[in-house]
Structures are given as structure tokens and as C-alpha cells.
């Protein structure tokens, strides 16, 4: 019996190693706040973008049609899960959950390790889907990767988020992991050029300096891939972002909500560009009467049920019953302090080009296009699944049929038929 058990174990290990060697790997990187036209702006100003140019010359560049709201945490979790925000439940950088009477705050490390925020309606991130198929994932600081979602972590993670980690350090750690035969997926997040965009504005020299820093990191990554036999010619590289950035800072483009609701009993899901208002003692009518004098100057006001369908951001109990979205370049004041030294913002309507992020991709399985493409943010999940031959996805909103044209050798019809059934919920894993 022991001999048979040992033989079965050896066979399983052989199949795992053989499978990982037969399928090329994916490295999926997000640079926060990298607007779709930043590379064009950088090139016009003489900034070195040679690494990004190398990728797009061997593959393609795209404008990403991102989800609503155009905030960091909802957007990154949409990329990871393939779901629109209303269906994955991470509805803001800060939001209240009426069922638990708790508030999620993206800067709270305790929240980010609590799985309850990330398990809405069976949400499953790419790294978990990959490991469910028998592979190993390495994830560095992606939204959701710190929590034990459905009691599982990625095989390798960076632990609690730390802004002190440089881009080069993150890439080195990722390469250490992905170089192993047992790993086929690496996901990495870096917080620039978003931070520079907020502080100095999207048209600033400081943003261009961060673009050059990102380029240097990508150049290092490309060089290391070429120098590593287990990676050279075997990496499908996808680089993108969560959202763009709009210029702010004009003093006459502030919606002073604070002074009309400060005496009311409410809970606020606030960001400078979006504002959810929950009655918490005060009535809905009292709140609406209080904000009526603002006359929707610089913003749109919605009751939850009236939020536009195109946002895919309304059918979720975590979305506040009163929801305000600022017009481009406007910001909500929700406290006594003014916005000082804040010259860039996102969170606005995803139809504004300023909100759209970029994407570049290349690799042995990725098609080449000379013209700029268009790509849906919720389609990263099915694209990565197709590249890694993961045929039993979670239920998603992304469409595998939209990504097939980006692949040199699309999956078989048998694969696609099964994938679609899992993706639409007909089959369940």
C-alpha cells in the first residue's frame, strides 16, 4: 500500500510540474493612477519610457474602460475578481455595511485582513482561482491579498501593506517567487504615479518623474526575465492601472456638504469625488432637505435605485441610499478642514477620459496590434484565466469572448464552452 501511495504522490507531482512547464506564466502589474495618456505626455516631454515602448511594440497598448466607482480599492478588486463593483461588494475606499454596522476604511490594516469585506456573493480573486486549479500564486500588495478570503491566502504574499517597499524591491520579490516552476501567476501593485498625481496634479513634472521611475522598474523586470532561463520567452506580461486622474484645486469647485449636514445624524461614505449618505438618526427627508440648497451645483444626486444602470453600481446593500457624485474637477467638503495641496483626484464618472487608465501587454501568447486598443477592466480575469488555461472560473461579469482577439492561440471550443458555463453560473466549482 505504501508503494502505491508513493507512486500516486510521484505521479501527482510530475503532473503538476509538467503542467506548469507546458503553460507560460503571467505577471500582472498595476501602477496606481496611471492615466491612459500618460505615456504620450511623457514621450512629448522627453521622459524615458523605453521599457513601456518595448512591451507595446511586441504586443499592444489599450485604453481601459474601467468600473464605477473610479476608486482604487473597488477598481483593483474588479480586476482581481472579474466582477462589477455592485457584484463584488467592495463598494468604496470607505463604506458602511448596514448588516454588520461596521465601516470599512482602506487605510485600516485590520479591515484589510478581515475576510468579511471581500467575500460578498462568493467573490473569488484570480490568485484563488489559479490555486483552485492546482497552481501557485505570488501576490504583492494587491487589494484583497492580505485577507484569508474563504479561508485561503495566496501561496506567497507580501503580508500587510507597506508603502516603504520600493518598486525594485517588489519586483525582486516577485521574480524570486515566479522563477520557481511551481508558480505560474504573479500579481504586483505599486502606489505611483497616483500619489504624485494627487499632490501635484496630472500635468505636473512630479508625475512625469514617477512615470520614469515606473519605466525603470519595468526595464529592470524585462532584463531579469531575459536573464532567467525559467522565465525567458515564457512570461505573458500585463501592466495596467486602476483609474486615471483629473486636475483639481480650484477653490470655486468645492461642494460644501459639511456646513449643511453637520448638525444631522448621518454616516458618510466619503471620498473627495463621491459621497454616500446613510441616515443614522436623521431621516432621509431631513437629509434631502438639508442638501437641497446646494442645487446640484458641481455634482449629481441620486437615490440608490436611481443610480444609472451603466455604472453597474446600485444593486448592493452596502451602497448608501443617498449617493452624490462630483462633476469632473469638483470635490466634496465633508469636514471643517479645506483641501490644501490636493491638485489631482479620481472617483468621477467613468465616461470621462481623464478617469480611464492605460494597459500594455506582451508575451509569447499575446497578439500584436499597432493601433491602440480598448479593453474592459472586468476582462482581466478571463484573459488571465485563458492564458493560464484555467477552465473553471468563478461566476464573473467579464467576458472571455472579448479577450480572445488579444491571444495568439485562443483556447479550444471545448475549453470556452466549459468556461462560459462557470462564468455565468450555470456550473459551479
pLDDT per residue as tens digits for the range 231-286: 999 999 999 999 999 999 999 999 999 999 999 999 999 999 999 999 999 999 99
For residue 422, CA distances in Å to 93, 324, 396 come to: 29, 35, 8
Q: Is 15 a residue whose pLDDT tops 50? A: no
Angle at 20 between CA 14 and CA 22, to 5 degrees: 100
- Please identify which of the residues 69, 70, 72, 129 carries the catalytic annotation: 72
Q: Phi-psi region for residue 296, left (φ > 0), alpha (ψ -120 to 50) or beta?
A: left
Give the DSSP H/E element, type plus range, for residue 322: strand 322-326
pLDDT tens for 351-379 read 999 999 999 999 999 999 999 999 999 99
Integer Cα distance of 367 and 60 in angstroms: 8
Percent of the chain surpassing pLDDT 70: 95
5 pLDDT above the threshold of 80? no
> How far apart (Å, rounded) are the C-alpha atoms in residues 86 and 90?
8
The DSSP H or E segment spanning 157 is strand 156-157
d(C-alpha 372, C-alpha 86), whole Å: 29
**What is the Cα–Cα distance from 303 to 325, expressed in whole angstroms?**
11
C-alpha distances (whole Å) from 136 to each of 108, 126, 130, 238 are: 28, 11, 7, 18
CA distance 74 to 98: 18
Of the listed ranges 115-124, 331-340, 415-424, the least confidently predicted one is 331-340
What is the C-alpha separation between 14 and 18, in angstroms, rounded?
A: 6
Of 171, 150, 149, 92, residue with least CA distance to 158: 171
pLDDT tens digits, one per residue of 142-154:
999 999 999 999 9
pLDDT tens digits, 30-82: 999 999 999 999 999 999 999 999 999 999 999 999 999 999 999 999 999 99
H-run or E-run covering 86: helix 85-88
The distance in angstroms from the start CA to the end CA of the chain is 31
Tens of pLDDT, residues 170-216 = 999 999 999 999 999 999 999 999 999 999 999 999 999 999 999 99
CB of 187 closer than 8 Å to CB of 139:
yes
Q: What are phi and psi of 362, to 5 degrees?
A: -160, 165
Separation CA 90–CA 115 (nearest Å): 11
Matching residue, cell 515566479: 178
Architecture of the structural domain at 254-342: 2-Layer Sandwich (3.30)
pLDDT in tens, 297-319: 999 999 999 999 999 999 999 99
Nearest residue to 393 (alpha-carbon basis) of 110, 137, 122, 161: 122
Residue 107's closest CA among 62, 161, 159? 161
| Residue-wise DSSP of 95-154 | EEETTTTEEEETT-HHHHT-GGGT-GGG---HHHHHHHTT-EEEEES-TTTTS-BTTB--
Integer Cα distance of 161 and 199 in angstroms:
21
- What's the helix, strand, coil split of the chain in %, to 5? 40, 20, 40
pLDDT at 341: 87
Distance set, CA 209 to CA 49, 61, 200, 245, 346 (Å):
11, 21, 12, 16, 20
Topology of domain 23-246+351-423 in CATH is: Alkaline Phosphatase, subunit A (3.40.720)
Confidence label for 340 from pLDDT (cuts 50, 70 and 90):
confident
408 three-state secondary structure: coil
Query: Could you tell me if 49 and 42 are in contact, meaning their C-beta atoms sit under 8 angstroms apart?
Result: yes
Residue 1 confidence (pLDDT) above 80? no
Contact of 130 with 389, CB cutoff 8 Å: no
Residue from 42, 36, 30, 32 nearest 203 by CA: 42
Give the torsion sign (CA, 132, 133, 136, 139): negative
Percent of the chain at pLDDT above 90? 93
Model pLDDT, residue 338:
87
Cβ 82 vs Cβ 397: under 8 Å: yes
Q: Which three cell numbers mark 323?
A: 449617493
The domains spanning 23-246+351-423 and 254-342 adopt the same CATH topology: no
pLDDT value of residue 389: 98
Strands 25-31 and 235-240: parallel
What are the boundaries of each domain within the chain? 23-246+351-423, 254-342
pTM of the model: 0.94
417 is catalytic: no
Split at pLDDT 50, 70, 90, the class of 22 is: low
Amino acid at each position: 500500500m505504501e508503494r502505491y501511495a508513493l507512486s500516486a504522490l510521484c505521479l501527482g507531482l510530475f503532473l503538476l510540474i509538467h503542467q506548469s512547464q507546458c503553460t507560460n506564466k503571467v505577471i500582472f502589474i498595476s501602477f496606481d493612477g496611471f492615466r491612459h495618456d500618460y505615456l504620450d505626455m511623457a514621450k512629448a516631454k522627453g521622459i524615458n519610457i523605453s521599457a513601456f515602448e518595448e512591451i507595446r511594440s511586441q504586443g499592444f497598448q489599450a485604453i481601459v474602460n474601467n468600473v464605477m466607482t473610479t476608486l482604487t480599492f473597488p477598481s483593483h478588486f474588479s480586476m482581481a475578481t472579474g466582477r462589477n463593483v455592485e457584484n463584488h461588494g467592495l463598494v468604496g475606499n470607505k463604506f458602511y455595511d448596514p448588516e454588520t454596522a461596521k465601516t470599512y476604511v482602506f487605510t485600516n490594516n485590520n479591515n484589510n485582513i478581515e475576510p468579511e469585506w471581500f467575500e460578498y456573493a462568493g467573490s473569488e480573486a484570480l490568485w484563488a482561482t489559479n490555486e483552485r486549479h492546482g497552481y501557485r500564486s505570488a501576490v504583492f500588495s494587491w487589494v484583497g491579498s492580505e485577507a484569508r478570503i474563504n479561508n485561503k491566502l495566496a501561496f506567497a504574499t507580501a503580508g500587510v501593506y507597506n508603502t516603504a517597499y520600493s518598486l525594485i524591491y517588489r519586483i525582486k520579490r516577485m521574480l524570486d517567487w515566479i522563477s520557481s516552476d511551481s508558480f505560474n501567476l504573479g500579481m504586483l501593485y505599486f502606489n505611483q504615479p497616483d500619489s504624485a498625481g494627487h499632490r501635484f496634479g496630472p500635468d505636473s513634472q512630479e508625475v512625469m518623474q514617477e512615470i520614469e521611475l515606473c519605466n525603470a522598474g519595468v526595464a529592470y523586470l524585462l532584463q531579469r526575465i531575459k536573464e532567467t532561463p525559467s522565465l525567458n520567452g515564457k512570461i505573458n506580461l500585463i501592466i495596467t492601472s486602476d483609474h486615471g486622474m483629473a486636475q483639481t484645486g480650484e477653490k470655486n469647485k468645492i461642494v460644501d456638504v459639511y456646513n449643511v449636514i453637520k448638525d444631522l445624524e448621518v454616516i458618510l461614505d466619503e471620498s473627495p469625488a463621491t459621497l454616500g449618505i446613510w441616515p443614522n438618526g436623521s431621516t432621509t427627508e431631513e437629509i434631502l432637505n438639508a442638501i437641497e440648497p446646494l442645487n446640484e451645483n458641481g455634482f449629481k444626486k441620486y437615490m440608490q435605485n436611481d443610480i444609472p444602470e451603466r455604472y453597474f453600481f446600485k444593486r448592493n446593500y452596502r451602497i448608501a441610499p443617498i449617493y452624490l457624485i462630483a462633476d469632473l474637477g469638483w470635490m466634496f467638503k465633508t469636514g471643517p478642514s479645506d483641501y490644501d495641496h490636493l491638485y489631482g483626484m479620481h472617483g468621477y464618472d467613468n465616461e470621462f477620459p481623464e478617469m480611464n487608465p492605460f494597459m500594455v501587454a506582451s508575451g509569447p501568447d499575446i497578439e500584436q496590434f499597432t493601433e491602440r486598443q480598448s479593453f474592459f477592466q472586468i476582462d482581466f480575469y478571463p484573459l488571465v484565466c485563458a492564458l493560464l488555461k484555467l477552465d473553471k472560473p468563478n461566476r464573473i461579469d467579464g467576458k472571455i469572448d472579448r479577450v480572445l482577439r488579444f491571444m495568439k492561440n485562443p483556447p479550444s471550443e471545448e475549453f470556452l464552452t466549459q468556461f462560459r458555463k462557470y462564468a455565468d453560473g450555470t456550473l459551479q466549482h
